Amino acid sequence: MIELIINSSPSITMSGGGFVIRGESSILGSSAALIVIDNMASTMSQLTSLSPHSVKSVSVLKGGAAAIYGSRGANGVVIITTKRGKD
């Protein structure tokens, strides 16, 4: 699952236990992207426990597109929709 997300864009990397979409932006703060699974903010451990076979789609938002998530989406957003989740 993690490899699928990292390979979806050349600008996505792993750092500090989270996805970094926009590059390292802070020395002291986190640069990790917000992870959203079925419209709920999630953690990396929830993502790793998710079966790749249950995933319907993966989207990566950055910049203005991530603004709908407010300050939590400032470092980008990884949106995962499962086959069980509602559209």
The pTM assigned to this predicted structure is 0.79
What's the pLDDT at 25?
56
Domain of residue 44, residue span: 2-82
Residue found by looking up tokens 């953690």 in the block:
43
| CATH at residue 34 | 2.170.130.10
Spatial strand order of the sheet with 34-37 comes to 40-42, 34-37, 77-82, 55-61
pLDDT tens readout for residues 27-84: 556 778 899 999 999 998 899 898 888 989 988 898 889 889 998 888 889 999 999 8
Give the model's pLDDT for residue 22: 63
Say how far apart CA 63 and CA 44 lie, in whole Å: 21
**48 part of a folded domain:** yes
- Residue 87: inside a domain, yes or no? no
Q: How many domains does the chain have?
A: 1
